[in-house]
Amino acid sequence: MVRVRWVGVAFACVQVATYYLPYPPGVVRMAVIMVVLLAAGNVAAWLALRRVGDLGRARRLQVATLVLDALVVMGLVIVYTFDADTAMWAVIYILPLEGALKFGLGGALWTMISATLAYTGRELYGAAVYDNPFLATSVSFRMGIGFIIAWVAGAMASSLARERDEVERAKAAVERSAEELSTAVEQLREATAVKDEFLAMTNHELRTPLTTILGYGTTLQSKWSGIADSRRREFVGHMVHQAQRLHALVEDLLTLSSAQAGGLEVEVAPVLVCTAVEEALANNGLAASRVRNECPPTLAAYADFERLTQVLTNFVSNALKYGADPIAVQAQEQDGWVEVRVSDHGPGVPADFVPYLFDKFSQASRGLSRTAEGTGLGLAIVQQLTEAQGGSVWYEPNEPTGSRFCLRLPHALAQEPPQAASAS
């Protein structure tokens, strides 16, 4: 549009410089002022456009420059009203071009309608003041050309705008596809990492028990008569222990798979937390004698007793394996929730590993070099089981040292179970 205005400025300058009749007093000065204003307005619009930073300000600038150009152009045309034959009226065609470039077909037509009304008024003014003949055919011819320009330019501008919008939509679609592809690649990487962890777990948790069972079984089969009864019982005991490890792994995988598929069955009812803790301690055998149950005997939560016991058994087992005395289980009511914490005074969980605690196959010692026995599924299952009961789990460091694994379930004495919320 800046270039179109400069063409208009050049046309107006030529018309002013080559006018062949004597000017009435003061007219030439007004003509020069109007041409200068048109040029100055073009420079100002160009400078302002370079500073526009958003679509709203750009729209306001477009409207302002269109109004300014209309006033200057019509002022220049009115200055030459004294001569009915002057060609200065042709600068009006700047306006529909500007309306089309800025606002499409509608802008071009409305701009031309306004210019036609102003030009008709100019012709009436010329007939009244300068005795110029008012020729309707002249008005219709000159403004008719303007409407043709407005229609063609507006249609082209609107078509270009639609094509631009289509390009923008296509670009946005490509960007979304790129984001989705990036997400898919990231998910593939995560899946690959999980696969690697699964293979490492398989090597450690499946191969070792199977090798043990196969070794003892082969020995018993080939040397049964030469092995004392006590040694046979010892071999069978080792085989049973390793078979129990395999059975536990299969149970963990089935539980996790059911939970993720939404097929985990839970029956929520008021449960005494202290009773569930006692059951979890019993599940951990004699070693659980080191654990203090400090839960209030009457505190109850909405939970599935078996699933809650399974969660607490895992927490206590981890504290016994990786923590240090004193180990305690505590519970309290907090804003309609029952919060249970299993704390120990061991080395705690490394800070950089805390975000991965409840991921599948996650262990602080990972991959082929890991040293801890286990599948890395326990805490992932704990999270699924707790969320299935309408609660949440999280980890926090114990003070001054150690770990504290926490769960939150709806309080059984509340009016109704509150909505599940993530621990902060």
With tokens 């390009």, the residue in question is 167
Phi first, then psi: give them for residue 377, nearest 5 degrees: -100, -20
Q: Which fold has domain 269-410?
A: Heat Shock Protein 90 (3.30.565)
Which helix (H) or strand (E) is 343 found in, with range?
Answer: strand 337-343
Question: What is the structure's pLDDT at 41?
Answer: 77
What does the block give as tokens for 263? 């097929």
pLDDT tens track for 385-410 = 899 899 999 999 998 889 999 999 99
Report the largest interatomic distance among the alpha carbons of the chain, rounded to a whole angstrom: 139
Question: What is the structure's pLDDT at 44?
Answer: 79
Question: What is the structure's pLDDT at 421?
Answer: 42
d(CA 356, CA 366): 11
With tokens 């100002």, the residue in question is 44
Question: What is the structure's pLDDT at 259?
Answer: 65
pLDDT tens track for 227-255 = 888 988 999 998 888 887 787 777 767 77
d(CA 328, CA 288): 10
Question: What is the structure's pLDDT at 368?
Answer: 35
Start-end of H helices in 284-401? 305-322, 378-388
Positions of the chain with pLDDT lower than 50, given as ranges: 365-372, 415, 417-424
Contact 409, 390 (CB under 8 A): yes
Question: What is the structure's pLDDT at 333?
Answer: 94
Q: Which fold has domain 189-260?
A: Helix Hairpins (1.10.287)
The pTM (predicted TM-score) of the whole model is 0.47
Q: Where are the domains of the chain?
A: 2-175, 189-260, 269-410
- Residue 330: beta bridge partners? 341
